[in-house]
Amino acid sequence: MGLIVQKFGGTSVGSIDRILNVAGRVKEEIDKGNQVVVVVSAMGKTTDQLVNMAKELSPQPNKREMDMLLTTGEQVTISLLSIALNQNGLEAISYTGWQAGIVTEPVHANARIAKIDTNAISQQLVSGKVVVVAGFQGITEDGEITTLGRGGSDTTAVALAAALKADRCDIYTDVTGVFTTDPRYIKNARKLLSISYDEMLELANLGAGVLHPRAVEFAKNYQVRLEVRSSMEKEEGTVIEGEATMEQNLVVRGVAFEDEITKVTVLGLTNSLTSLSTIFTTLAKNHINVDIIIQSTTEAGTANLSFSIHTDDWLETLNVLEDNKEVLGYEQLDAENKLAKVSIVGSGMVSNPGVAAKMFQILADNNIQVKMVSTSEIKVSAVVEEKHMLKAVEVLHDAFELASVE
């Protein structure tokens, strides 16, 4: 007998029929003799609807009250699924995040899990029950309800799998696994049978929406075996593990992309040792995430600094820099919108020189200008014009032969 944690996203529980389908998936594992903990998201677009209602009342709703509001979405799902399971002849009990023992740091809207007390869940499993847990939520030591931010249900599932020492954590979604790129846009994208934690973490951070980066990081740190599977199709998914056991001959394993990127350039910056730290400390204090950074020195002895941010942060970034112009000591600001980031990822890049050169040559051959570059041992990212994003993904996917079945 094994212990399996199953996670079902909002699409998978978006209607009564789909909840019944989930109940059937749970029963399949129980019939195999496994113990099961199920983590679920709010039904369909419930969270978006709750956010929209709050914003009709206030353009910037209080974060504590938003957590109180948004956590109700998952509570609806856990109740309905537990009712369905009980009707199916399975004993089931639903738990909110706090009833499940999930304790978080005291931060509203984007809390991190601090610890999990598994006693309540373990007792129910021993008594033969299926435990249905609300994802995306927890409670502080002081009793405040919190949410875990975007993708929080993935994180809940992986954290519970780690705390319970589960044999496997299955992430059920509306796709059949992790693909070489997004199959909604690139028709010859191919499902990977396995991928390493490091590769998946890069893809998730670079725009692949199938798993949240924090969940993958948790899985890597605690060596939780993940499998991404379809909630509707009964076929093998993609296994995420320490080292990918399949397709080791692929140098590049996937192409990720992300739009709504803005390039900000700070011109005429004082070329001192502390200039960079002062700018990025100022941005960090205002919770502005910076991605790619490029610095160049001018003949006049000053420095020009460019960095990329998400376009949502563009106006706030410019305001912060303008408000601190005297302290930061620069001459002028410039910004370029409507950009995108396209990235190739693969652990095989470490031992195969020339991959970056090939990427840039392919983009040049297709008249796609590269505006910024970022690299690591297993990825190369290029910032291009947003209008060229999908073309860049397509030609890179073809050039690295990712559609080929190995």
Query: Does 235 fall in a domain?
Result: no
Which comes out higher in pLDDT, residue 34 or 214? 34
Assign 249 a pLDDT band (cuts: 50, 70, 90).
Answer: low
**Six token digits for residue 291:** 């991605």
Token pair 């190995």 in the structure block, residue: 406
165 in the same domain as 292: no
State the total domains in the chain.
2
264 in the same domain as 169: no
pLDDT at 161 over 90: yes
**What b/e sequence results for 177-207 when a residue is b if at least 16 CB atoms lie within 10 Å of its CB, and e otherwise?**
bbbbbbeeebeebbbbbbbbbbbbbbbbbbb
164 in the same domain as 268: no
User: Where among 147, 174, 201 does a domain terminate?
Assistant: 174
Query: Does 381 fall in a domain?
Result: yes
For the segment 82-112, what is each residue's pLDDT rounded down to a tens digit? 999 999 999 999 999 999 999 999 999 989 9
In this structure, the strands spanning 293-297 and 303-310 are antiparallel
Predicted pLDDT of residue 297: 86
CATH number of the domain encompassing residue 263 = 3.30.2130.10
Query: Does 284 fall in a domain?
Result: yes
376 in the same domain as 264: yes
Check if the beta carbon of residue 269 is closer than 8 Å to that of residue 303: yes
User: Where among 174, 204, 226 does a domain terminate?
Assistant: 174
Among left, alpha and beta (phi > 0; psi -120 to 50; other), residue 318 is: alpha
For the segment 352-373, what is each residue's pLDDT rounded down to a tens digit? 889 999 999 999 999 999 999 9
Query: Does 190 fall in a domain?
Result: no
What would the mean pLDDT of 217-225 be, rounded to a whole number? 94
Give the full edge-to-edge strand order of the sheet including 113-116: 113-116, 102-104, 137-139, 145-147
143 in the same domain as 38: yes
Query: Does 287 fall in a domain?
Result: yes
pLDDT at 248 over 70: no
DSSP code at position 53: H
Domain boundaries, position 352: 255-399
Query: Does 220 fall in a domain?
Result: no
Predicted pLDDT of residue 150: 80
Closest to 304 in 3D by CA, of 347, 256, 269: 269
Give the full edge-to-edge strand order of the sheet including 226-230: 92-95, 130-134, 35-40, 3-8, 168-173, 226-230, 238-241, 194-196
User: Where among 110, 140, 174 does a domain terminate?
Assistant: 174
Query: Does 242 fall in a domain?
Result: no
What would the mean pLDDT of 28-48 be, rounded to a whole number? 96
